[in-house]
Amino acid sequence: MANKEEKNVNFNTESLEKEPINFAEGIYWVGYSDENRGLHCNPYLISEGDEAVLIDGGNRDDFSTVMLKILRTGLQPSQINRLIYQHYDPDLCGSLPQLEAIINNDALRIISHKENNVFIHYYSAKTEKLDFRELDNRFEFKTGRRLEFYPIPYCHHPGSFVTYDVKTKTLFTSDLFGSFDTRWKLTLDLDESCRECNDLDKCPLSSNKCPLSGIVKFHQRIMTSNRALENTLNIVEKLDIDRIAPQHGSIIASKEDVNAIIRLLRKVKNVGIDYFLSEEYI
């Protein structure tokens, strides 16, 4: 297996384009970066023993990039026996037919939510789709390593959920904790002043590039309401989290930064429909 420990590697554009990044035990970032998009997608692979799970596998056009990185971990595609889709947008699910074809494993199953599976079916009807609630909200590898699933309704779909890896205390959050960012980095590393920030309009560092503004703007536009976001943050805050791995934006790689961003998001006003009806938007 490749050994690309995130905390010990100084990433450059070339390594991110070509290599999987191992940032926690058995967990690889197999995503893709494009400076022209302003929205970066982060599929994640969890490899445990002779099994693997792919979370939010990516869109159709970037399938070759994602699969090349999976292969460079040393994993055989047929070892992937679960595809987890935390909601049903095409940036997560668009590559499903290609994944099915190359994995070619009769034991392959999709884990999502009933509300999502209705729409995931339109990408492909081939693979059996499971509702995580019927699995006692968990998936266990043969080694006993456990993934737990927590529903976060309307953040931003009715069937949205997050996935918690108990072994590494990593929370995979799909669009939650995502960000718009034209100066993307794989990991977010906040200055202490940023952690204590209460007003994004008054940067204590006099920075022309706030690392938090993209997160706030993303949640105002993508999440449905303050009430839905508050309910979700209440769920997340009860978990013992060392890092957050979102589908968009940067990996939040420390407990301190996780807690700081949760505090910040609790203060955000005009989320979802309220944003689009606000004077700020008009």
Instruction: Supply the CATH number for residue 49's domain.
Output: 3.60.15.10
User: How confident is the prediction for the chain on average, in pLDDT?
Assistant: 90
Whether 260 has a pLDDT exceeding 50, the answer reads: yes
Whether 194 has a pLDDT exceeding 50, the answer reads: yes
Strand partners, 147: 139, 165
Say if 62 falls within a structural domain: yes
Say if 3 falls within a structural domain: no
Query: What confidence score (pLDDT) does residue 238 get?
Result: 97
In the predicted model, what is the mean pLDDT of residues 100-123? 98
Kindly report, residue by residue over 68-99, the tens digit of the pLDDT.
999 999 999 999 999 999 999 999 999 999 99
Query: What confidence score (pLDDT) does residue 75 get?
Result: 96
Query: What confidence score (pLDDT) does residue 10 get?
Result: 43
Query: What confidence score (pLDDT) does residue 12 get?
Result: 55
Whether 1 has a pLDDT exceeding 80, the answer reads: no
**pTM of structure:** 0.92
The CA distance from 21 to 7, in Å, is 10
The CA distance from 129 to 119, in Å, is 11
Whether 4 has a pLDDT exceeding 50, the answer reads: no
Confidence tier at 39 by pLDDT (50, 70, 90): confident
Query: What confidence score (pLDDT) does residue 33 get?
Result: 73
Say if 57 falls within a structural domain: yes
Say if 91 falls within a structural domain: yes
Say if 82 falls within a structural domain: yes
In the predicted model, what is the mean pLDDT of residues 97-105? 98
Given a contact cutoff of 8 angstroms between Cβ atoms, the answer to whether 95 and 66 are in contact is yes
Query: What confidence score (pLDDT) does residue 7 get?
Result: 43
Q: Which residue has the higher pLDDT, 16 or 171?
A: 171
Given a contact cutoff of 8 angstroms between Cβ atoms, the answer to whether 111 and 82 are in contact is yes
Q: How many domains does the chain have?
A: 1
The domain of 19 spans: 13-276
In the predicted model, what is the mean pLDDT of residues 247-274? 94
Say if 259 falls within a structural domain: yes
Kindly report, residue by residue over 114-155, the tens digit of the pLDDT.
999 999 999 999 999 999 999 999 999 999 999 999 999 999
Token pair, residue 4, equals 């690309």
Which residue in 92, 64, 62, 60 sits closest to 77, CA to CA? 64
The pair phi, psi for residue 81, each rounded to 5°, is -115, 0
Distances (CA, A) of 18 to 40, 67, 147, 148, 265: 15, 11, 28, 30, 33
Say if 7 falls within a structural domain: no
Say if 6 falls within a structural domain: no
